Structure 1
Amino acid sequence: MDSTAEDGEGTGRRLRDLRRARGLKQQDLASGDVSVSYISLIESGKRTPSSAVVALLAERLGCTTNYLLTGQDETHTRELELKAAFADLSLHDGRAGQALQAFSEVLASTPVLPEDTVRRARLGQALALEQLGRLEAAVQALTVLYEDPRCVAGSAQWSQVATALVRCHQSLGDNVLSVEIGERALRRLDQLGLQATDDHIQLGAVLVGCYRSRGDLAKARLVSDRLIRVADEWGGRIARRETYWNAALVAQSQGDVDQALALTERARALLAESDHVRHRALLAAAYGTLLLDCDPADPERAHQLLEQAHTQLADVGTPAERAHAQTHLALACLQLKRTDEARQHVSRALESLRDEPRPETVQARTVLARAQFDAGDGAQATDTLAAAQQQLRQLRPGRSTAGVWRQIADLWQHHGYVTEATAAYQQALADAGLPGQGVAPGRVGAL
């Protein structure tokens, strides 16, 4: 006679959920003792399996009989929660591939886990995908989490998901959507009237970066100034560091290099030896980049910092972060008259970016053209600049693309290509929303 510790419906539901989570079909569990039709009846709650059948099914599913009977399996649950903690540490240390594998293994046992552990693992999985540069997959996972009603607005996890979602859309070049999501999230926080937390402050800091990317520097400065006041009063070390860092980038974009350096120094002062290697590397890269813009520039010190950042980001950085360090390392080499080394660095940057049409790729191509000009290879340099312009036209026009057009125009003009320089300057004006005489708003014709 069939009997269990509870009705067959609960056992059948857990059997079905766990089988699906394992990617198995009913016939995969069937044997000479248990038919496919009998398994179907168990899953539908129409049959209550015997203890022997439960033991057989549990063995094939890799769970305990107690879990199938009661839904409780403390030993297995503890093991999975330990694995999730290990994945968190791996992610913090920049070992995104290792973290992704561990989180995926945890999520394969979703029916066994408490709901909060599952959501934590899904967030970790999405963040690991982001670090690995798999941004579309990260956005998909984050969107599901963000729209889940169990992710309560204002909670730490909600803020972390919103921040990551804004950051990923920005990295994909969609500044419109990233700003829309960020502003909506901050408005929600204002409506809730909650005291500012580190997670809330970091959300604001990422939004500042989005304003900067789309060229809205006045708004970026306004929000970053407000965030600094909030972070200084309520924020912890990490939140203040993120706030100073993004404010430094805004100041740099506004041409205020001294203010940018001062803010970067404040951010670097908040670094600790226990901090994420990636964060230390990114701040070193940001500081090195600023030293190249100083008057006078300090290319030797910049090269040292960027080399350090490049070495660390090789293991823990995203493709875009590695490319940024390599491109600016190439700029430092050009200032130091080390042309061959500059070409090597920027070529590696392009390899990291896989030649995709994105701002970092265009920037790298522009630096490569400069190195080719410096090496006396004008024909190759003009081809490289033409390729950079072709990719730049594929990007959404705005102040950020206008700045790159201006760099290209300056390079054309410096080397005597007047017609090409004029067209690039006109395109810079058009992208900035200030078309020159005889130039209609939008994209000008191909050169």
Structure 2
Amino acid sequence: MTGQDLVGQRIKTVRRQRGLSQAQLAHPELSDSYVSLIESGKRTPTPAVLELLAEKLDCSLTYLINGVTAEQMQEIELALSYAQLALDNGEVVEARNRYAELLADSGLAGLPQLRQDTEYGLALATEACGDLEQAIVLLNGLRENDAVAMSPERHIAVAVALSRCYRETKDMAQAVRVPEQILTGAVRPAWTDGLMRLGGQLLAAYVNRGDLLRARQFSAEMLAAAELLASPQALTLAHWGAALVAVETGHADEAVTHAERALAIQSEYGDLRRLARLRSDYAQILLNVRPMEAEAWRDVLLKVESELAESSASAIDKMRCAMSLVRVDLLLARPERAEERMRFVCDLLDGMPKVMQADARLLHGETLAALGLRAEASRELLAGAEYLEQMPEIRFAAHAWLTAARVLERIDEPDRSVDAYKRALACVGL
């Protein structure tokens, strides 16, 4: 049944409930034949006619159009606001449950825009809960079912989230394909802040895939576009992307310059949660390019940890910061302190993406090896390897296998170490 049919059906139902004939409803402004055509779905009433009929029937215009009363509409909008607030505050399980309850409500059936908002919110909450596979299903459902109805801004936002989820699950082919469909088509759209966000996802996917030449070219393109846009968000994204590319291509000073530029802009214009995330990633970059200054970066990460605890950051953000602190403590030869923090990381593992679980298991194995607990380290490395074996042969997997190989060598497991080195080489095509 079409929307036009449903409107006519509602008018007919309310008219009968009021004990009115078609002629009585029509008189004197309309003809009874016109009312009959509306009720049968053969005519679409104008907004003015709908308003008139709602007044004559003593019902809300919202009900005639959408099938919900004004009170129901207010309840739905309030519930949607609470779900969004929960998501913004980092209460991701609560947000996911609220969005799911809303979608189960039949009242959304006649409210396509609110239904789309709810489906999008559910996808983001599901991603934040670490259920990336289901988030991908929901986001693809939005693209397939609402491609025409979606605004250009929502279309881009869905593509950003989808590319990010594919990258987190290490499906690099899809992580690249989704943004490239929009950004590298025959007709390139004019750059906007939204497209810069999508470009940031594409750049990260190029880096993760190991396509560093393309990443460097695209990073230069984004920097030029950001200078023209001159918006804080565009400049932050472009400089941050350039920093990531510089790290991967061995340009340490360039990486620090771009990272500090991005951080300065975000500090002036960005919200606290994004600023905390950026500081955490900034410290991680500096750990990679200036490990001798680990003590200073530890202080930065401790401040970030405090900011994340007081903000609406997700468990994933907190876990990443904690793992960075573990790595700092290992660099500073403080394995006991690293192990204390690893307990917090292990408590968060349930429900996390498999790639994060693999990374955490390997890091825990490295920590246990530093403590001289060879048997325990071996078990954690084995658990991490089981996750790695399920992943495609990409850049992250190469780094992870290399880490495993070095730790296995340290705990005197030469056969497994050699196998891990071979896996690392295979991931980079050697």
Alpha-carbon separation, structure 2, partners of 1:299 and 1:152: 50
1:98 deviation in Å? Answer: 5.2
Which of 160, 170, 175 is equivalent to 2:172?
Answer: 175
1:135–1:358 CA distance, 2 compared to 1 (3 A): closer
**Corresponding residue for residue 305 of structure 1:** 300
CA contact (8 A) 1:77 1:112 kept: no
Per-residue CA distance 1:143-178 (angstroms, 9 max, x = gap): 122224554688111111111111111122211111
1:236–1:81 CA distance, 2 compared to 1 (3 A): farther
Which of 41, 64, 69 is equivalent to 1:70?
Answer: 64
1:175–1:264 CA distance, 2 compared to 1 (3 A): same
**Corresponding residue for residue 146 of structure 1:** 143
1:111 deviation in Å? Answer: 4.5
Alpha-carbon separation, structure 1, partners of 2:140 and 2:244: 28
Alpha-carbon separation, structure 2, partners of 1:230 and 1:349: 39
**Corresponding residue for residue 370 of structure 1:** 366
**Corresponding residue for residue 42 of structure 2:** none
CA contact (8 A) 2:319 2:348 kept: yes
**Corresponding residue for residue 391 of structure 1:** 387
Identity value in percent: 26
1:258–1:93 CA distance, 2 compared to 1 (3 A): farther
Which of 220, 226, 234 is equivalent to 2:221?
Answer: 226
**Corresponding residue for residue 280 of structure 2:** 285
Alpha-carbon separation, structure 1, partners of 2:402 and 2:102: 49
Count how many residue pairs are aligned between Structure 1 and Structure 2.
385
Alpha-carbon separation, structure 1, partners of 2:354 and 2:238: 25
**1:187 is aligned with what amino acid?**
T
Comparing 311-320 and 252-261, the one that deviates more: 311-320
**1:3-402 mapped onto 2 (5 Å cutoff):** 10=7, 12=9, 49-51=16-18, 65-66=59-60, 70-71=64-65, 73=69, 77=73, 80-81=76-77, 84=80, 87-88=83-84, 91-97=87-93, 99-100=95-96, 103=99, 108=105, 109-111=107-109, 113=111, 115-148=112-145, 150-151=147-148, 155-188=152-185, 191=187, 193-272=188-267, 275-295=270-290, 297-313=292-308, 316-354=312-350, 358-402=354-398
More RCO (CA 8 Å, sep 6+): 2
SS of alignment partner, residue 353 of structure 1: coil
1:362 deviation in Å? Answer: 2.8
1:75 deviation in Å? Answer: 6.0
CA contact (8 A) 2:362 2:380 kept: yes
Alpha-carbon separation, structure 1, partners of 2:16 and 2:367: 74
**2:190 is aligned with what amino acid?**
Q
Alpha-carbon separation, structure 1, partners of 2:221 and 2:347: 39
CA contact (8 A) 2:368 2:374 kept: yes
Alpha-carbon separation, structure 2, partners of 1:9 and 1:160: 31
CA contact (8 A) 2:93 2:125 kept: yes
Going by fraction, where is helix more abundant, 1 or 2? 2
RMSD over aligned CA atoms reads: 3.4
Comparing 207-216 and 339-348, the one that deviates more: 339-348
1:209 deviation in Å? Answer: 0.9
- Give the alignment's TM-score, normalised by structure 1: 0.75
CA contact (8 A) 2:243 2:254 kept: yes
1:183 deviation in Å? Answer: 1.2
Structure 1: unaligned runs, 5 residues or longer: 1-6, 15-41, 54-63, 435-447
1:203 deviation in Å? Answer: 0.5
CA contact (8 A) 2:323 2:360 kept: yes
1:254–1:360 CA distance, 2 compared to 1 (3 A): farther
- Give the alignment's TM-score, normalised by structure 2: 0.77
SS of alignment partner, residue 298 of structure 1: helix
